[in-house]
Chain A
């Protein structure tokens, strides 16, 4: 939703246009919130993609929607609703047997999917009970990038700092537990505890991202930058850093373009993320193809 996009329109003078972006208070807040959320989503999302827990991440974001709608209905702050619902959802998923072992054939996805559908339905009920059906539903599901309050920015910042600090503390162990669970466990890494901690961190991140991109577009920031970065490099530290940078670029570009356009910001953020992934994936496919061709050539000429 764009309150009053592009007061004077695009002048094609980059310095002027950027100055115009920062002149509006709502735009400064949107950029601040977007930056916080991008850094958080880029790093938590990187581990989520590596752990093959994208579905859990999506579910936690969807669960945040009835949380926020329910909180609004009860007259409590929607922000609190987002976090409460996502963190509770994370703990429930952690309690489903089989989750702690990471990958593997369990009925985890069926259980999560069932809960997700029900959560979404509850959200629709809460919104319709509250009255303002269309407007708020749109905001919950597709984001309110441009209506972020000062207090919300501070809350986002505080939660992000806590989540990132925790992640920085356990990052290496989490990586070990993710790629090599059995060995990590025998080397004294608390793999079960780490998987619960990570789900809670993921819940916090999903709640934060939902507030900006809406519950349905969280993957624009949680999956796209991380998946793109993992396409581009197999070095864990570089890949993690790249994921954060890509998330920032996607958010800034999306916000900047949306400001001068009449179309929703969620569309632009997601489109830039999508374009980045398609470029990276096709670039890698091309390199692999060229590589196999080069290796195959001597055999052919001989």
Chain B
């Protein structure tokens, strides 16, 4: 995947411009930055939902929007209505065959070889993300972390080469963030799938990352985390003094951010409901 001097304008406003980045197959890449920096816009530009106003891009060797089935996409946190009576396994299955004509009939599963393979494939990804034990519960009755695993399974089930995950760790508790980060990096390493993950907080995934794309003030920087998340680079990007502190467990704390961290999740809290 490659962007050259790309820019996106939405409603007569430039979201970001001059973005150049190259992601090699099999890399684990994080897109980080403050709210409104255009992180989700970058994902949507890759998907071809937002057209570039300047520059060029290629995704899996094709123009954005052409790669279709070869991309797995997990949109920004959506929660399922608690009263939705559809099982998790059905939601995952729709990722595999939801765009096909016809109507799901239970009988067809038993007699057609292709349907049996589909069912086995669903079971395989559920096992991969560790969701097998609750996949047959109605999805509205699973917890936030469980839903997120099921949705990652859905994005993976059609065997994509590129996985785009928009804030998969948002509104999860710390143990769940760590567990899901491990699941995602495992998928990246073992299956050779390129993963692009949008995150507010880089720390849960920091140790797995090959590359960071830091978006702020309409511009982007990309490179290995040790080069990008430094006091000098970020100060330059923001145009104000920024300090990056190292914690004893290898985490990073960005201080002097123009936006206080407390504001970070405000935009999404209205739409989420975390269940204990």
Contacts and interface: CB of A to CB of B under 8 A. Distances in A.
Interface string B52-91: 0000000000000000110101110010110011110011
Contact of A237 (B95, B106, B154): B106
Contacts of A231: 85
Given A167-B103, A183-B154, A235 B49 contact: no
Given A179-B80, A179-B86, A187-B68, A172 B100 contact: yes
Contact of A179 (B69, B94, B100): B94
B97 A172 contact: yes
A179 B91 contact: yes
Interface string A129-167: 000000000000000000000000000000000000001
B101 A175 contact: no
A32 interface: no
A184 B85 contact: no
B94 A176 contact: yes
B175 interface: no
B98 A175 contact: yes
Nearest to B84: A179
Contacts of B25: none
A188 B86 contact: no
A237 B137 CA distance: 15
Contacts of B137: 234
B276 interface: no
B103 A186 contact: no
B98 A239 contact: no
B102 interface: yes
B105 interface: yes
B99 A188 contact: yes
Contact of B91 (A180, A186, A187): A180
Contact of A186 (B49, B94, B101): B49
Contact of A171 (B74, B80, B85, B102): B102
How many A residues touch the partner, as a band?
20 to 34
A184 B101 CA distance: 13
Contacts of A167: 103
A234 B98 CA distance: 17
A125 interface: no
B104 A171 contact: yes
B103 A180 contact: no
A173 B100 contact: yes
B130 interface: no
B138 interface: yes
A183 B103 contact: no
How many B residues touch the partner, as a band?
20 to 34
A183 B85 contact: no
A172 B136 CA distance: 19
Given A173-B99, A175-B94, A234-B138, A183 B104 contact: no
B104 A239 contact: no
Nearest to A233: B85
Given A182-B75, A183-B95, A188 B102 contact: no
Contacts of B105: 237
A234 B99 contact: no
A173 B98 CA distance: 5
B102 A189 contact: no
Given A175-B94, A234-B85, A238-B106, A183 B100 contact: no
A189 B69 CA distance: 12
B90 A170 contact: no
Interface in B104-136: 104-106, 136
Contacts of A103: 81
A168 B69 CA distance: 24
A141 to B, nearest CB: 30
A235 B93 CA distance: 12
B94 A234 contact: no
A184 B137 CA distance: 22
A138 B51 CA distance: 57
Contacts of A233: 85
B47 interface: yes
A236 B139 CA distance: 12
A168 B102 contact: yes
A184 B75 CA distance: 11
Contact of A187 (B99, B101, B136): B99
A172 B106 CA distance: 13
A238 B107 CA distance: 10
A230 interface: yes
A299 interface: no
A239 B94 contact: no
A169 interface: yes
B101 A169 contact: yes
Report, nearest first, the 4 A-B pairs whose CB atoms are least far apart. Answer: A171-B103, A176-B98, A234-B138, A182-B75
Given A179-B94, A187-B68, 4 more contacts: A50-B84, A176-B98, A186-B73, A234-B138
13 contacts: A171-B104, A172-B104, A176-B99, A179-B84, A179-B86, A179-B91, A186-B49, A187-B99, A189-B98, A234-B86, A234-B137, A235-B90, A237-B103
